[in-house]
Structure 1
Amino acid sequence: MRSVHRPLLLALALLATLAVPLLLGGRAALGALRDVPASALATILGVTLFGWLARAAKLAVLAHGVGLRLRALQSLLVSLATDFGFLATPGGLGGYAANVLLLRRAGATTSAATAVAAADQIVDALFFAIALPLAACAALRSALPELMLRAAFAGSGVLCAGALLAFVLRRPLLRAAARRAESHRDSRFARAYTLLAQALHDTARLLRGDARATLALAVLTTMQWTTRYGVLWLALGAFGHAVPYAVTLLAQGVVMHVAQWTGLPSGAGGAEFGLAAALAPWLTPAQLAPAALVWRGATLHLALLAGGFALLHLVRANDLPGARPAVAPEGA
């Protein structure tokens, strides 16, 4: 996709996050925003910031595992800028490239930065593989659509199968990469396979971290996603709608991942319609509309604004002052 289309897609996505709630709730959705208590908005803002800090701390733990020590502020900037990449591109594809590039600028090798990006996604996948069925079990007594429950368990099964397959194939992949690199000496293939082998090795080393690092990753990942997915629950509560937290987590966990296939960044438009369908047993579309505006404002618009400023700062700085490799980087 040509770069000229990316700002247009992002603009369409932002427009969809405003247009769809207004389509669902009409002008009354905007009027309802005036009745939200300031304390509720402050709580939502605080929870959003807490989630950002948890993700930044998780990134710092992963970076430390490959020998890169990021100061707290630098970790936060890289985390916000990476989130900008995920939120601003279809399917979140730009987030992976942003994560690797920014960690490279921080002093990590290409393989180490790739390993951090891969491990980050694997840890998130493991969280959802556990959280989705737990949320489904907690919501079994609710009037949750059967399709949503099936999707939760199916998604969890796919994530678990993917993680198991990656674990089983890690050694054969490493051996195959090493053989290919040996057979293509002094060529681009050799460099590519060597990079792949090193990235796989670094990822495996990250995921085999010591008990403290593993516990920290588990806690921080849980904090990151329960706070991010807790914003909708808080927004609904601010408008007087008591929807179980497990239901909102499950609905977002399924709908947001499916909505990524809409082709618009952050699944804009599709996510709002999907949530309206998933939460139909508890809310009418008109009741969901104002909460959806607050939810998107905190998790998308505010995150894009913060991530854009972070990315701009990092690009202007051209490096990450204060980032210190824990060990001398090896190779490129």
Structure 2
Amino acid sequence: MSRSLWLLLSALLVALLIPLLFGGTGLWRQLRDFPAGLLLGMLAMILLCWNLNALRLRLLLPRHRLGQKRALGIVMATEFAICATPGGAGGPLTLMALLMRNGVAPAQGTATFAVDQLVDLLVFACALLGILVYGLSHALNPHLATLLGASVSLLGGALVLLVLLGRFHRHMFRFNGRILRRLGLSARRRFSLGRKVIRFRNALRQSLRLPRTLLLGVFLISSAHWVVRYSVLYLALRGLGRELDWAWTFLVQMLALSAGQISLLPGGAGSAELASVALLAPLVGKSTAAAGILIWRAVTYYFYLLAGAPVFLHLAGRPLLRRLVRYRQS
């Protein structure tokens, strides 16, 4: 447990040091002059995001009468686990554990998480298409053109893989079964795993067969959530006196957070800051980029940890916390 705690603390320290080192002497002046009212408004935007996600969770579980307050607690605890564990691996585990305590079967909880992620992926695909159309009608510098091309390619590849997986999932099941047999897994154990996978598939189909109007509502709520959350960096730069199109701040955040996930550090701490500085500095300068990133991460990462920790401990308790902290060692 102490090793994992030191990992999180070390990642947080590195995440703070990167903007401080890149910001130079002008960083503190810009942070001192940042409007306090705007900072409070950005924190209120995060509270709105949590409530939107809670409403989305309730819509995805229409047969389970989750109240808004309970769903909000589940969302905040899950977001805390995502930010505090390597690669966000503790998020799905926390979500499924808390849903089980509210009468949701494990397969249904996993399917709910999968549909939630699919909707988010669809939202990002639509956003990138909109940015692409916007970019084609504006003169792009080579830096932004490279960012946009890389984003479209990566997301397009992910969508193709998901379509192929859905189309040929039976072949994938058989292939995995042969691999497990060669690894020496007993027939009983393979049967148990196969049954769990089938239950998940059936629950996923059931979730995708929800009324179209309900799924459309989930998509619109998810879109509103990401628009609000990805406006934080845009507002941070405006508060620092720099104007940058919202589309490009969206692109910078998406790529920086993707780099953070790939690094497998808790919340992408350190790697997300480094990637965002590299992407944003050519557009607004090092000092402004460092100040904007420090404010952005304070609102969308450190605030998640501070506000989510007591909610997580209240809903999930210390046993699940110890399980999450030891997750990286398994």
State the TM-score bracket (shorter-chain normalisation).
0.7 to 0.9
Extract unaligned runs of 5+ from structure 2.
Answer: 178-184, 321-330
Cα contact 1:276–1:288 (8 A) shared by 2: yes
Aligned equivalent of 1:106? 102
Separation of aligned partners in 1, 2:272 and 2:319: 36
Corresponding position: 1:25 with 2:26: no
Cα contact 2:111–2:203 (8 A) shared by 1: yes
Separation of aligned partners in 1, 2:258 and 2:217: 25
Aligned equivalent of 1:147? 146
Corresponding position: 1:258 with 2:259: yes
Q: Match of 1:199, SS?
A: helix
Residues 206 and 173 of structure 1: CA distance in aligned 2, closer, same or farther (over 3 Å): farther
Name the TM-score, length of structure 1 as normaliser: 0.85
The alpha-carbon deviation at position 27 of structure 1 amounts to 4.7
The alpha-carbon deviation at position 257 of structure 1 amounts to 0.6
Separation of aligned partners in 2, 1:214 and 1:314: 28
Residues 51 and 84 of structure 1: CA distance in aligned 2, closer, same or farther (over 3 Å): same
Between 1:252-261 and 1:224-233, the stretch displaced more is 252-261
Between 1:263-272 and 1:185-194, the stretch displaced more is 185-194
**Aligned 1:1-332 pairs, distance under 5 A:** 3-64=1-62, 67-140=63-136, 141=138, 142-143=140-141, 145=143, 146-170=145-169, 187-316=188-317
Q: Deviations over 1:278-308 (max 9, x none)?
A: 2234211111111111111110011111221
Cα contact 1:144–1:281 (8 A) shared by 2: no
Q: Match of 1:106, SS?
A: coil
Extract unaligned runs of 5+ from structure 1.
Answer: 179-183, 320-332
Give aligned-pair identity as a percent: 32
Separation of aligned partners in 1, 2:245 and 2:193: 49
Over aligned residues, Cα RMSD in angstroms?
2.6
Residues 15 and 156 of structure 1: CA distance in aligned 2, closer, same or farther (over 3 Å): same
Cα contact 1:18–1:293 (8 A) shared by 2: yes
Cα contact 1:12–1:264 (8 A) shared by 2: no
Between 1:269-278 and 1:194-203, the stretch displaced more is 269-278
Between 1:43-52 and 1:259-268, the stretch displaced more is 259-268
Cα contact 2:19–2:277 (8 A) shared by 1: no
Cα contact 1:170–1:200 (8 A) shared by 2: no
The alpha-carbon deviation at position 61 of structure 1 amounts to 1.4
Q: Aligned letter for 1:168?
A: R
The alpha-carbon deviation at position 39 of structure 1 amounts to 2.3
Q: When the two structures are aligned, how many residues end up with a matched partner? A: 310
Name the TM-score, length of structure 2 as normaliser: 0.86
Residues 76 and 100 of structure 1: CA distance in aligned 2, closer, same or farther (over 3 Å): same
Separation of aligned partners in 2, 1:58 and 1:139: 31
